[in-house]
Structure 1
Amino acid sequence: MTAAIRRWSARLTATAGLLVTVVALLIAPAGPASAHAVLVSSSPVSSSVVPSAPAEVVLTFSESVRKVPGKIRVIAPDGDRADRGEPTFEGSVVTIPVDPAGGRGTYLVSFRVISADSHPVSGAFTYSVGAPSAPPVDTGDDSRADPVVGVAVKVAKYVGYVGLLLLVGPALVLAALWPRRLPRRGPARLAWVGLGLVTLSTVATLLLQVPYTAGGGLFEVTGEGLSVVLGSAFGAAHLVRLGLLAAAAFLLRPLLAGPVGRADLVILGVLGGAALLTWPVAGHPAASPAPAVSVVVDAVHLGSMAVWLGGLVMLAGFLLPRADERELGAILPIWSRWAALAVSALLLAGTVQALIEVATPSALVDTTYGRLVLAKIALFALVIGVAAYSRQLVRRRTGVERPGQVRRAVWVELAVSAVVLGATATLVQTTPARTAATDVAGSEAGYFSTTVSSSLYSLQIEIDPAERGNNTVHFYAYTPDNRPQPVVEWKATAALPSAGIEPIEVPLLPLTDNHATGEMNLPAAGEWQLRVTARTSDIDQATVTATVPIR
């Protein structure tokens, strides 16, 4: 087979892959945009007492939600399941059929659903038939994912970002800036490593999405759970990415081996641009108030990052050590202009993205997402300063005459940028500030979360909204190796010594064997002292304390 025939075969294969991807996008599940859905009402109403057992329980969320198999349950007063059959999902309304011949007493409804940005939303409430009774305990599987799973998801996304820049950088430099006399073996290996990392990250993220959404440990990936993930918009986006990577691989091989024609570069650019869109389509941008704008802006942000940092890797690892003075004199000014354009696009896209996701100035400091954005901005400003120094070296031709100075500056840029990528990987798994800063009614709300430890267990404490008035508290007990720790009895009090408020008992409702929730009314702002005692057996118990700032 001649070289010309091989090139046309690669083009046809890549084009076919692109067409398959387009078809997958067209048939992918679609739905209205939403983010971190919230339960806004229920029938029966939470904590209400109804005269007779209902035939169904209806949950209404603020936005459309999707099912997590086996994670919506209604527990009767005797501890048995009262729900009958599978719940039905119609947009934001979930209908759960229940036994209409149920007995008198208090029923527990627990749920776990998936919002449009692929994050799980869980909760529970009670209602009573005839008269209240001791609330039942849901002895089913814990509805919270193992903390290790959350960390693994962030690591997988970080690996994907690193792989993307290692793929884009060599491909871009080899296509436009690489001196003909230099061998391509090193950059080609780097590009294949980048392609492998992106592929590995995509597959790992798909598999991890199963325990992340359904709850469970790192390796609890079931066929049913995987089927649900693959049938979602999240799964479709990742499958499309894998298809695009496979198609692009056919055109990468000739590019990494030597110069290629413009048609190959155009097709490869189209494949790359389409692949970039799969990241925002599977995350927060697709569920923002302006999804079309957010998706495009996020893709530009990601692509600019890959061009800039990928080019820096090529510059530091290959061009500066190997190119001679004449070649650097031609390459560095062009790269300097490219870097300036990439950084400008990065700044513009990041600004638009932050305005959409943060929404209000106060959310920058009042939410975890906002504080991460501020940290990212500070780190990015440091990188920009180093990049400006490198650009001045190029303009004065110092970088051509003494490339060691530019190389050191580039390595500093890359080191700080590695931390920025870590912040980005955390951001995409963090509730957007526009959601975290407001409740369903649009009122300002805070949130408090911490983990404290004793000799018997570690306790994750979540309080929402962490301000004066009514607050919901959740306690999750874990063993030292991060497994759910069954608790026989819970006790909790809240006190504000600075205001002379004595300990207030917090009534608690066990939801699972390691999870309890309760409602407390805190009448004043200040540093409240929360004291929690968990008894894990007939003779073993431990008490932990936490300071909770209440606004």
Structure 2
Amino acid sequence: MLRGWEYDWTLPQSCPTRRKREHMSRIARQLVAALAILVGVLALGTTAASAHATLESSSPADGQSVLTSPSEIRITFSEAVTTISGGLSVLNADGKTVGTGNSEIVGGRTLVAPISETLSDGTYVATYRVLSADGHPVSGSILFGVGNEALDRSAQPSSSGDRLWEIIGGISRFIMYLAALVAAGVAFFLAFIHDRAEDRWRIVPFVRIGSILALFSAIGIVMSQAALLTGKGAGAVTDSNVLRDVLNQNLGWSLALLMIGLAAVHLSTDISKKVVSQSLALYGGLAVTVSFAVWGHATELSPEAISLAANAIHATAAALWLGGLVGLVMVLSLRTPETVRSTAGIIGRFSLMAFWSVIALTIAGLTLTITGSDANLNSILTTTWGQLVLAKIGLTLIVALIAAWNRRTLVPSLTSPTENTNELAVRWATLLRTIRTEAVLLVAVLALTAIVVNVPPARTAVVAKTDRVDITQRVDTGNVQLSVDPAIVGPNTVSVRYTDGTGQPVNVANSMSIEFSQPSAGLEPITRQVPASEPGVFVIQGNELSIPGTWTITIAVRTSDFTEQRTSFEVPVRR
């Protein structure tokens, strides 16, 4: 429109082009908002996540006071670990490092560090950083004391720095999964599903931008791994030895395969020859999805071959489904209902691909759930890993139901002859809305996946949860709780805690006598003296529980010069 001598380049409100631009802009804003919410949820989930190899026992035990300086620190984990640019260090209450020798792994699961000097009486923190067998950093600390002094709990180091890098690593994994799967899936869509019309160039940026985002997210993962393994923050990335250690693991092979695959799918969009383009999209996409299987849970679940295959199939099906949805959303957004005849082929091919993708995703997902939980329903229902998997299954089921309705109802109605253009437009818009919903829900599934990979599998968590024995009895001073962990033959940590009726600790005595006996096996009492590690708390670690069966553990404290309080517990110990 002309205004004086100037031309108004603003498109009229009724212009179809303007309406389409506004529509696409609104969709973009909604997607950005949804992604921001998902990243926030992911950050919260990552801070609550646990490492994959969990601490089973230590010597000295966490919270234990020993009368003399220990000659070494031993920490045993639930699965195999390695020391990479980390190991074990011991700090005193002032935060100063005490002399320790080189850390080493004994028996695959036990981290051992000799102490080269005699520790004076006081509180100490042993901090460990190792790499679990599935490639995830594991860090933590135990608190122990030397002498009869109460433990100084303020000596416990802060883990806020690690939490930040855990969040960065979790968000980087989510973005890498999302970007790489979208890039691979959209490349396949363009090569095999699309009709190669000119609007394909409006879809190609999803492949290129996705590849670039996945590359930068991979860098974020490497940085978080280096920071968590060393505790040195971002500065760890500048150490070539640390980077070599990080990339020498399965992570290095995974990222190499990912980069090769992303390069191939990127090139597939530039090749005009159909056969070459399809080959690059197919094999490049497979390289991308297989790269996720060679690092993480799948490498430790058994049987390993089945787990790796299921993981690769799971990722491949997700890429085809999600990438296909993104491609189809763009096609339906860029075209009008009047082009339904020419677009019917794309819709039909996508519907067939989505059908088989859902079947593959279901079979692979069930296989991974079974291997991750040892087919134990209780472990699925009661562990964080299992509950997250159930949430993934629930969301995927909703998406599958929407897809089934599209395939059986909407798609046939679009391709059936009709003279009513308004009805055709309504069907077209409905299909577009449902496909967008599918895509958003699948992104939510990927966010849950990024959290799941940072949580111990159900079978590991259940073992750690069910091995420990906790018994509480009423006594004159309130309550006394006995904990035996792991309650199996061999080294055990026995903790005793005295509390009042409100659960607050009661300072009953400075030391405690504890007796271990098994009358049915003819074992006479084995007596140990244990100093209080803090008011009302006593911890002892040793090999007294040497045979299976029901042990009688009796604890005795002198509550006054003339009164001794004795409490007995029956504790089952298995082999």
Q: Does TM-score exceed 0.5, indicating one fold? A: yes
Supply the RMSD in Å over aligned alpha carbons.
3.7
Instruction: Give the counterpart letter for 1:433 in structure 2.
Output: A
Unaligned runs of 5+ in 2: 1-50, 417-423, 471-480, 486-496, 508-532, 539-575
Aligned residue for 1:95, secondary structure, equals: strand
Tell me which residue corresponds to 1:97: 114
* 1:46-93 deviation digits (Å, cap 9, x = unpaired): 747476752x44444343212254551234689754333421235323
Paired residues of 1:40 and 1:61 also in contact (CA < 8 A): yes
Tell me which residue corresponds to 1:355: 370
- Structure 1 residues 127 and 503: alpha-carbon distance in aligned structure 2, compared to 1, 3 A threshold: closer
Paired residues of 2:264 and 2:280 also in contact (CA < 8 A): no
Paired residues of 1:439 and 1:445 also in contact (CA < 8 A): no
Q: Distance in 2 between matches of 1:261 and 1:268?
A: 10
- Structure 1 residues 415 and 520: alpha-carbon distance in aligned structure 2, compared to 1, 3 A threshold: farther
Q: Does 1:260 align with 2:274?
A: yes
* 1:322-360 deviation digits (Å, cap 9, x = unpaired): 272332232322221111000111111111111222342
Q: Distance in 1 between matches of 2:341 and 2:469?
A: 61
- Structure 1 residues 79 and 334: alpha-carbon distance in aligned structure 2, compared to 1, 3 A threshold: closer
Q: Distance in 2 between matches of 1:505 and 1:367?
A: 30
- Residue 247 of structure 1 and its aligned partner are, at CA, apart by 5.0
- Structure 1 residues 106 and 411: alpha-carbon distance in aligned structure 2, compared to 1, 3 A threshold: closer
Q: Does 1:234 align with 2:251?
A: yes
- 1:288 pairs with 271, 292, 301, which one? 301
Instruction: Give the counterpart letter for 2:275 in structure 1.
Output: G
Q: Does 1:112 align with 2:137?
A: no
Tell me which residue corresponds to 2:566: none
Aligned residue for 2:185, secondary structure, equals: helix
- Structure 1 residues 259 and 170: alpha-carbon distance in aligned structure 2, compared to 1, 3 A threshold: farther
- Structure 1 residues 88 and 137: alpha-carbon distance in aligned structure 2, compared to 1, 3 A threshold: farther
Aligned residue for 1:124, secondary structure, equals: strand
- Structure 1 residues 412 and 267: alpha-carbon distance in aligned structure 2, compared to 1, 3 A threshold: closer
- Structure 1 residues 365 and 241: alpha-carbon distance in aligned structure 2, compared to 1, 3 A threshold: same
The count of corresponding residues between Structure 1 and Structure 2 is 426
Q: Does 1:122 align with 2:140?
A: yes
Paired residues of 2:184 and 2:265 also in contact (CA < 8 A): no
Paired residues of 2:127 and 2:139 also in contact (CA < 8 A): no
Instruction: Give the counterpart letter for 1:160 in structure 2.
Output: M
TM-score of the two chains, using structure 2 as the length reference: 0.64
Q: Distance in 2 between matches of 1:290 and 1:186?
A: 44
- 2:177 pairs with 161, 166, 173, which one? 161
Q: Does 1:417 align with 2:437?
A: no
Tell me which residue corresponds to 2:502: 502
Between 340-349 and 204-213, report the one with greater CA deviation.
Answer: 204-213
Q: Distance in 1 between matches of 2:189 and 2:415?
A: 18
Q: Distance in 2 between matches of 1:285 and 1:445?
A: 31
Q: Distance in 2 between matches of 1:184 and 1:168?
A: 15
Paired residues of 1:254 and 1:260 also in contact (CA < 8 A): no
Q: Distance in 1 between matches of 2:270 and 2:94?
A: 68
Q: Does 1:302 align with 2:315?
A: yes
Paired residues of 1:89 and 1:95 also in contact (CA < 8 A): yes
Tell me which residue corresponds to 1:479: none
Instruction: Give the counterpart letter for 1:289 in structure 2.
Output: S
Identical counterparts, % of pairs: 27
Q: Does 1:336 align with 2:360?
A: no
Q: Distance in 1 between matches of 2:173 and 2:536?
A: 36
- Residue 410 of structure 1 and its aligned partner are, at CA, apart by 0.9
- Residue 303 of structure 1 and its aligned partner are, at CA, apart by 1.2
- 1:195 pairs with 196, 208, 211, which one? 211
Aligned residue for 1:502, secondary structure, equals: coil
* 1:411-470 deviation digits (Å, cap 9, x = unpaired): 121222222222222222222222222218x53799xxxxxxxxxxxxxxxxxxxxx853
- Structure 1 residues 301 and 156: alpha-carbon distance in aligned structure 2, compared to 1, 3 A threshold: same
Aligned residue for 1:82, secondary structure, equals: coil
Tell me which residue corresponds to 1:477: none
Q: Does 1:435 align with 2:481?
A: no
- Residue 403 of structure 1 and its aligned partner are, at CA, apart by 2.4
Q: Distance in 2 between matches of 1:361 and 1:519?
A: 39
Aligned residue for 2:245, secondary structure, equals: helix
Paired residues of 1:368 and 1:430 also in contact (CA < 8 A): yes
Tell me which residue corresponds to 2:391: 375
Between 70-79 and 230-239, report the one with greater CA deviation.
Answer: 70-79
Tell me which residue corresponds to 1:315: 328
Tell me which residue corresponds to 2:6: none
* 1:156-179 deviation digits (Å, cap 9, x = unpaired): 222122212331233112212322
List, as ranges, runs of 4+ consecutive aligned residues in structure 1 with deviation greater than 6 Å: 136-141, 492-495, 516-521
Between 237-246 and 335-344, report the one with greater CA deviation.
Answer: 237-246
- 2:100 pairs with 78, 84, 87, which one? 84
Q: Distance in 1 between matches of 2:469 and 2:328?
A: 47
Q: Distance in 2 between matches of 1:101 and 1:504?
A: 35
Q: Distance in 2 between matches of 1:429 and 1:376?
A: 15
Paired residues of 2:124 and 2:155 also in contact (CA < 8 A): no
Instruction: Give the counterpart letter for 1:504 in structure 2.
Output: Q
Unaligned runs of 5+ in 1: 1-34, 447-467, 473-491, 496-500, 508-515, 522-551
Q: Distance in 1 between matches of 2:117 and 2:78?
A: 27
Tell me which residue corresponds to 2:82: 66
Aligned residue for 1:96, secondary structure, equals: strand
- Structure 1 residues 53 and 150: alpha-carbon distance in aligned structure 2, compared to 1, 3 A threshold: closer
- Structure 1 residues 69 and 411: alpha-carbon distance in aligned structure 2, compared to 1, 3 A threshold: same
